[in-house]
């Protein structure tokens, strides 16, 4: 089956120290195939809501929906090539 898990140590109303780890949560998906896991991750990211802090959810969502990412045609230069500043 498909598994979606949100690993986080922060809860609504909680306080984040100025010494926080910048990774506040980790959204993990597992599925029988890479394509199914990517689709589950894209769906989960579209439903994920974070308020009050800056986050990279729009970038991660764009990444999951990028054709090269979905096809697995990746290199160490992928982000610089496809998402230039």
CA 65 to chain centre: 11
Entry pTM: 0.83
pLDDT tens track for 32-61: 999 999 999 999 999 998 888 889 999 999
Task: Between 54 and 66, name the one with better pLDDT.
Answer: 66
Dihedral angle over CA of 84, 55, 41, 65, nearest 10: -30
Predicted local confidence at residue 79, as pLDDT: 97
d(CA 77, CA 84): 10
User: Among residues 20, 42, 21, which one has the least CA distance to residue 31?
Assistant: 42
Confirm if 34 and 74 have CB atoms less than 8 A apart: no
């Amino acid at each position: 089956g498909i598994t979606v898990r949100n690993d986080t140590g922060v809860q609504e109303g909680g306080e984040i120290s100025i010494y926080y780890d910048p990774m506040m949560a980790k959204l993990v998906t597992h599925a029988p195939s890479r394509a199914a896991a990517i689709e589950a991750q894209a769906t989960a990211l579209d439903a994920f809501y974070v308020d009050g802090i800056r986050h990279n959810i729009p970038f991660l969502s764009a990444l999951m929906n990028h054709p090269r990412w979905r096809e697995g045609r990746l290199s160490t230069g992928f982000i610089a090539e496809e998402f230039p500043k």
